[in-house]
């Protein structure tokens, strides 16, 4: 795909995501009856600013922790990158994950900036596969922890939500196993890639077959070398998992902190956290940009059983505003700055 086609495709998805965002917010506001932008403003004005500030800080840490996780992985391969580089790798992943179906644009975007900063394609691929595996495992672990904290957290969801949560948990367990297999068996990636190059060359769709195959072999060599380094060092795996666990936890904490900020019963804070863990599992696999609509439905359904309807809508809108809309907007700005700053440096 040419550079112009990629830009056009991303612009189309950005517009679609914006339309979905507007429609989702309008639907939520319409369903909440008395909840208006003015009412939300008054709620925020009268809220506990300490808890609200903690919620906002936690939503921003979501971006920071992912970058730190990636840096911890590539460090084992002898590559040291600063915090700002890690922030760019993370922000580009978060932004493009939010505007593409099933988050398909996130990893390629992060890989683009990693390779442009001098990291080989093979090491980049291995690092991102491992990080994605740990990201998935952290959600699974938090789901298990949530049931331990609040055993009845799952039971209170509606039937549709329960189906989404069970399906999400099953898919994530399968994905974690697939990522582990890809990390150990690099041929599952590179043999099909080699066959594809040969096929396209035979159809006269690409040129320089031998050059491409040699380049692919170099990527495979770097990938295996990085994979072996990581697999043989448990400390890297543990560190990457901890950073990913912190990343997911920081985001999941936001609704709990917003609930407390709005005057909710603080004895119910662990229950709100447990509910949000299961909600996150339920919407993570949905093939809609940012899981917009589905995540909102799950949050309102989950919170309705532990707070009144008006509070459920308020917590959902404010939390989602912090963890998704603000986070994605900030990630987009960081990505844009990083892109043009890199081009200027390249020149």
Q: Give the residue ranges of DSSP H helices in the chain.
A: 3-31, 37-45, 49-76, 83-99, 106-116, 121-149, 159-184, 187-202, 209-231, 234-261, 269-283, 294-303, 309-320, 327-346
- Which tops the pLDDT comparison, 256 or 291? 256
pLDDT at 90 over 60: yes
Q: How far apart, in whole angstroms, are the C-alpha atoms of residue 268 and residue 259? A: 9
pLDDT at 158 over 70: yes
The full DSSP string for 289-301 is GGGTTHHHHHHHH
pLDDT at 102 over 80: no
pTM: 0.85
The full DSSP string for 36-61 is -HHHHHHHHHTS-HHHHHHHHHHHHH
How would residue 86 be classed by pLDDT, with cut points 50, 70 and 90?
very high
pLDDT at 57 over 60: yes
Residue ranges of the domains in the chain? 60-95+102-337
Query: pLDDT at position 19, please?
Result: 80
Contact status, residue 72 vs residue 238, Cβ threshold 8 Å: no
Mark 155-187 as b/e (b = at least 16 C-beta within 10 Å). ebbeeebbebbeebbeebeebbeebbebbeebe
Query: What is the arithmetic mean of pLDDT over 109-125?
Result: 91
- Which tops the pLDDT comparison, 33 or 178? 178
- Which tops the pLDDT comparison, 247 or 122? 247
Most confident stretch, 66-80, 185-199, 209-223: 66-80
């Amino acid at each position: 795909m040419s550079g112009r086609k990629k830009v056009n495709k991303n612009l189309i998805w950005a517009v679609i995501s914006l339309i979905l965002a507007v429609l989702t917010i309008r639907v939520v506001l319409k369903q909440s009856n008395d909840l208006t932008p003015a009412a939300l403003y008054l709620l925020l004005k009268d809220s506990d600013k300490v808890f609200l500030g903690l919620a906002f800080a936690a939503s921003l840490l979501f971006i920071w922790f992912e970058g730190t996780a990636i840096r911890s992985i590539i460090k084992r391969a002898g590559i040291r990158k600063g915090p700002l580089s890690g922030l760019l790798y993370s922000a580009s992943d978060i932004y493009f994950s939010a505007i593409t179906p099933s988050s398909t644009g996130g990893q390629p975007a992060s890989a683009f900036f990693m390779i442009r900063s001098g990291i080989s394609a093979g090491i980049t691929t291995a690092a991102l596969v491992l990080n994605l595996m740990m990201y998935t495992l952290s959600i699974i672990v938090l789901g298990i922890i949530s049931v331990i904290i609040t055993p009845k957290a799952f039971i209170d969801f509606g039937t549709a939500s329960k189906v989404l949560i069970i399906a999400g948990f099953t898919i994530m367990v399968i994905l974690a196993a697939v990522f582990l297999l890809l990390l150990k068996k690099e041929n599952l990636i590179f043999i099909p890639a080699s066959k594809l190059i040969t096929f396209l060359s035979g159809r006269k769709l690409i040129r320089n077959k031998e050059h491409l195959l040699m380049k692919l072999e170099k990527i495979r060599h770097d990938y295996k070398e990085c994979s072996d380094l990581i697999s043989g060092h448990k400390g890297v795996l543990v560190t990457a998992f901890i950073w990913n666990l912190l990343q997911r936890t920081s985001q999941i904490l936001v609704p709990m902190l917003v609930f407390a900020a709005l005057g909710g019963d603080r004895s119910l804070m662990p229950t709100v956290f447990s509910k949000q863990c299961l909600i996150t599992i339920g919407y993570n696999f949905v093939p809609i940009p940012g899981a917009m609509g589905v995540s909102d439905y799950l949050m309102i359904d989950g919170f309705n059983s532990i707070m009144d309807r008006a509070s459920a809508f308020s917590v959902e809108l404010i939390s989602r505003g912090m963890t998704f809309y603000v986070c994605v907007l900030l990630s987009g700005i960081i990505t844009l700055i990083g892109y043009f700053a890199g081009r200027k440096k390249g020149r």
